[in-house]
Structure 1
Amino acid sequence: MMTDKVRINTFDAHGNNESYLARQAEYESNVRSYPRKLPLAIAKAEGVWITDVEGNQYLDCLAGAGTLALGHNHPDVIDSIQSVITCGLPLHTLDLTTPLKDRFSAYLLSLLPGQGKAYCLQFCGPSGADAVEAALKLAKKHTGRSGVISFSGGYHGMTHGALAVTGNLSPKAAINGLMPEVQFMPYPHLYRCPLGIGGEAGVEAHSDYFENLINDVESGVRKPAAVILEAVQGEGGVNPAPAAWLQRIRKVTAEHGIVLILDEVQAGFARTGKFFAFEHAGIEPDIIVMSKAVGGGLPLAVLGIRKHFDAWEPGHHTGTFRGNQLAMATGLATLQHLTEQRIAEKVAAQGEWLKDRLRELQARYPVIGHVRGLGMMIGIEIVKPQAEPDRLGCHPADGELAALLQKKCFEAGLILERGGRHGSVLRLLPSLLISTQELAIVLDKLEQALLAAGQQPV
């Protein structure tokens, strides 16, 4: 019996954004989130630009939450997909190897510390949360211990163990029986020091607090299997870790045989101006969690594991889609472009330029309380400048105004996300190939949004 093949053509789109969103609400669970903040139906995209079904264009500073390092539909990525489709390679291989997987593995390993000589790879399920779960299990298996130390403001995923080590309390509401023996500690904050100290003294106090917790026989916290953290917190409000603090954590964990897990899912792969965010501190983790950009826009998650810690036995952690050949092709194309075109250097310079321009905007608009971040991972904290500041001079966060600014940005043709406490931080995560001219458009649209939200320059 002949059946009609499914044909996809973006130009077959009928209706407007509202009609598509109404059907999405009918078809999908209440769990959907982005359409509530960014109410559009996407027809096509290229580079940093998205076009909706009504023909409206938007500059995309979300990029799949940092997944699309090369932007939408980069020619190298499209070519790699077409090559796999036409060469006869299977799309799905479990953990069986192929010449493509062999090339991808060798290239990815070469980018890890010491060109990967001390590391091996573990291909996990397709999301970063899957890789976090594997990393936590492996740390427990290797050490024989069960505890994990994580940090306030951290985000590691929504699966059971990953959620347990995530700081945000909202998704934990009414979810009982999360992974036990997780100890949270304060993460240094460039703007809102949780210890109320600030500056270098605050960083030193955080470092001393961590070391004392591990060494103190009366701390009440058993020696953990692992410490997990982000070198730049993304969802937590684009908060870079001080290098001195990361270095002390690496020193203490190494001395005590605690597995140090660096979650580079969002900050990795040239996003911060270094290939990995932990490189800013000159440290080497025991396990590196990689996803998002590592698959070049397609689902892939990989661990980089120091060989000494590879305590797995065959089949003790599996995943059906760990052999995604298309993602390895797009991932290889992305990694090659990032390295051969020296994109990290470009991103580092652009990040400094952008922060300087944003600070000029901050001088005119007092609701911008703080500008921070590295490379193309930038946070803009929105505050209530008329309210009483705390003893460090920081005004209260204004999540309501940040939400209004996100809305006004969208109406001006700029897509961005919020994060941090109370959703008060506007986050910029564009393609790493964004031009300086396009960044100038971002700045212009952001100022349009400030004015549309009723903010007047001083």
Structure 2
Amino acid sequence: MLNDGVLRTEPLEKTNAEYLLRQSRFESNVRSYPRKLPLAIAKAHGVWVTDVEGRTYLDCLAGAGTLALGHNHEAVMASLDSFLASGLPMHTLDLTTPVKDAFSERLLSLLPGQGRDYCLQFCGPSGADAVEAALKLAKTHTGRNTIISFSGAYHGMTHGALALTGNTAPKDAIATLMPGVQFLPYPHEYRCPLGLGGEAGVEALTHYFTQFIEDVESGVSLPAAVILEAVQGEGGVNCAPVSWLRRIREVTRERGILLILDEVQAGFARTGRMFAFEHAGIEPDIIVMSKAVGGGLPLAVLGIRREFDAWAPGGHAGTFRGNQMAMATGLATLEVLQRQDLAAQAERRGLWLKEQLESLQQRYPALGQVRGRGLMLGIEIVDERRASDRLGSFPMDPTLAVAIQQHCFRQGLLLERGGRQGNVIRLLPPLIINDEQCQQVISRFERAVAAALLQTRS
């Protein structure tokens, strides 16, 4: 153990810098994570990642939430060994196999009402692919063409999905994104978009949504669908208030608007429930699933209420919708999530982490707010030296947030930022993280915050 808190084992032949230089020669300028987390990974297991120089890091990024069971979990590895020995094909278009049959049965059983009123659609392997399919299906079923999305949303980077995403930066250079998208304000615990805050803000936003749909003079035709995240991830870990989400479900049902819940990042036990929308007790019309559903391998699936399954045969396709290895690892992951009740464990450990972070907040007022559910947490980084708004919220401090992420890396803690201007530190550890590892997260994070403050404010 060195002074920076990072463990080291035997190094490999090239340094991190050498691999990163080679990567810059091989790959497009579009790469992003290596710019924030400058390492080359040699191996990984559980919550730990080891770079080519032998440094070991505690991973609170976990493939942006993909690795629910962490790296190379024994059940996932055993499923791969079994699959490779079985002689089954690696992908089958949409032809079925015993693996696909077992996976489908298990996944359906996790949907509302144990899936009795739902069917599955296997899509291309990314969450954005599934979002595109959901949009097409909603338009096909309703015969309408407009979609409502929300500020702060993230639904992917393909043309249609990007049109639904709140962040304008990746859109500015693209003039012909999917038309017919109307954005409405999403509740924000720390920065109420209406400047009201608390229950008053939630009630006003709920009323605003209702009026927007029901007012014949709103200027927007009745949409085919409303799409949202019950917990916004990239948007800064903003949780949908239960009353707001329930009212959206009521209004969409009354008006024949399909409600699409994007559970790509929040789904599969991360928030303390199997799906984040379960906190509100609602049933979506379409559920978008990816990331953890494939157990670490590429897979995306829609859960569709059968009454809205308006596809003609072949109406949506994709070569890799038949990724059999991902279904094997996905099945193993779902079995572990249920058998070990990792949703309840995520809730317990998330509450403990949240309490510890709120305790740090008392000592470091630059941690403006701690929020989230389960093991999907966000810390809003602010400049408390400047004047607050009338609700007591301080201005964002993205410079400090960047410095905290950099010092976390030096402390052996991998995590990401999100939110407006990237000022929200996000924690997405594997759901198998234990108590001692949670304590390490807090101690490493505190050291990073102290160092970042010294660097940026001294």
TM-score normalised by the chain length of structure 1: 0.97
| 2:416 matched residue in structure 1 | 417
1:130-160 Cα deviation digits (max 9, x unpaired): 0000000000000000000000000000000
SS at match of 2:327: helix
The answer on whether the counterparts of 2:142 and 2:224 sit within 8 Å (CA) in structure 1 is: yes
Q: Is 1:435 equivalent to 2:434 in the alignment?
A: yes
Q: Is 1:121 equivalent to 2:120 in the alignment?
A: yes
1:390-438 Cα deviation digits (max 9, x unpaired): 1100000101100010000001100000000010000000000000110
Cα distance in 1 between the residues matched to 2:436 and 2:199 = 36
1:14 offset after TM fit, Å? 2.0
| 2:188 matched residue in structure 1 | 189
* Partner AA of 2:319 in structure 1: T
SS at match of 1:373: strand
| 1:98 matched residue in structure 2 | 97
Cα distance in 1 between the residues matched to 2:259 and 2:91 = 32
| 1:271 matched residue in structure 2 | 270
Cα distance in 2 between the residues matched to 1:277 and 1:15 = 42
| 1:327 matched residue in structure 2 | 326
Cα distance in 1 between the residues matched to 2:267 and 2:240 = 14
| 2:292 matched residue in structure 1 | 293
Cα distance in 1 between the residues matched to 2:454 and 2:80 = 46
Cα distance in 1 between the residues matched to 2:264 and 2:402 = 25
* Partner AA of 2:92 in structure 1: T
1:12 offset after TM fit, Å? 10
| 1:261 matched residue in structure 2 | 260
Cα distance in 2 between the residues matched to 1:13 and 1:100 = 38
1:333-379 Cα deviation digits (max 9, x unpaired): 00000001111111111111111110000000011000000000000
The answer on whether the counterparts of 1:262 and 1:285 sit within 8 Å (CA) in structure 2 is: yes
The answer on whether the counterparts of 2:62 and 2:429 sit within 8 Å (CA) in structure 1 is: yes
Cα distance in 2 between the residues matched to 1:436 and 1:176 = 49
The answer on whether the counterparts of 1:272 and 1:377 sit within 8 Å (CA) in structure 2 is: yes
Cα distance in 2 between the residues matched to 1:241 and 1:50 = 32
SS at match of 1:453: helix
Cα distance in 1 between the residues matched to 2:450 and 2:246 = 43
TM-score normalised by the chain length of structure 2: 0.97
Cα distance in 2 between the residues matched to 1:453 and 1:113 = 45
1:454 offset after TM fit, Å? 3.1
| 2:153 matched residue in structure 1 | 154
| 1:444 matched residue in structure 2 | 443
* Partner AA of 2:265 in structure 1: Q
| 1:339 matched residue in structure 2 | 338
* Partner AA of 2:181 in structure 1: V
Identity score, percent: 69
* Partner AA of 2:280 in structure 1: A
Provide the alpha-carbon RMSD of the alignment.
1.3
SS at match of 2:446: helix
| 1:250 matched residue in structure 2 | 249
1:52-110 Cα deviation digits (max 9, x unpaired): 00000100000000000000000000000111111100001000000110000000000
| 2:349 matched residue in structure 1 | 350
SS at match of 1:371: strand
Instruction: Write the mapping of 1:381-396 to structure 2, written as runs, cut at 5 A.
Output: 381-396=380-395
The answer on whether the counterparts of 1:150 and 1:227 sit within 8 Å (CA) in structure 2 is: yes
Cα distance in 2 between the residues matched to 1:292 and 1:128 = 7
| 2:43 matched residue in structure 1 | 44
* Partner AA of 2:172 in structure 1: A
| 2:3 matched residue in structure 1 | none
Q: Which moved more, 1:340-349 or 1:272-281?
A: 340-349
| 1:237 matched residue in structure 2 | 236
* Partner AA of 1:145 in structure 2: R
Instruction: Write the mapping of 1:200-219 to structure 2, written as runs, cut at 5 A.
Output: 200-219=199-218
**Unaligned segments of structure 2, at least 5 residues:** 1-9
Cα distance in 2 between the residues matched to 1:365 and 1:70 = 32
* Partner AA of 1:263 in structure 2: D
Q: Is 1:139 equivalent to 2:141 in the alignment?
A: no
Q: Is 1:26 equivalent to 2:3 in the alignment?
A: no
The answer on whether the counterparts of 2:12 and 2:53 sit within 8 Å (CA) in structure 1 is: no
| 1:6 matched residue in structure 2 | none
The total of aligned residue pairs comes to 448
1:227 offset after TM fit, Å? 0.1
The answer on whether the counterparts of 2:124 and 2:319 sit within 8 Å (CA) in structure 1 is: yes
SS at match of 2:211: helix
SS at match of 1:426: strand
The answer on whether the counterparts of 1:398 and 1:424 sit within 8 Å (CA) in structure 2 is: yes
SS at match of 2:400: helix
| 1:221 matched residue in structure 2 | 220
| 2:6 matched residue in structure 1 | none
| 2:72 matched residue in structure 1 | 73
The answer on whether the counterparts of 1:365 and 1:455 sit within 8 Å (CA) in structure 2 is: no
1:453 offset after TM fit, Å? 1.4
Cα distance in 1 between the residues matched to 2:195 and 2:454 = 30
**Unaligned segments of structure 1, at least 5 residues:** 1-10
* Partner AA of 2:131 in structure 1: V
1:452 offset after TM fit, Å? 1.3
1:175-211 Cα deviation digits (max 9, x unpaired): 0111001000000011110000011111110010000
Cα distance in 1 between the residues matched to 2:198 and 2:246 = 17
Cα distance in 1 between the residues matched to 2:255 and 2:304 = 18
* Partner AA of 2:50 in structure 1: T
1:455 offset after TM fit, Å? 4.6
Cα distance in 2 between the residues matched to 1:79 and 1:173 = 45
Cα distance in 1 between the residues matched to 2:391 and 2:261 = 30
| 1:7 matched residue in structure 2 | none
| 1:5 matched residue in structure 2 | none
Cα distance in 2 between the residues matched to 1:453 and 1:210 = 40
Cα distance in 1 between the residues matched to 2:348 and 2:53 = 36
| 2:304 matched residue in structure 1 | 305
Cα distance in 1 between the residues matched to 2:192 and 2:184 = 13
1:13 offset after TM fit, Å? 4.4
Cα distance in 1 between the residues matched to 2:61 and 2:452 = 21
| 2:7 matched residue in structure 1 | none
| 2:83 matched residue in structure 1 | 84
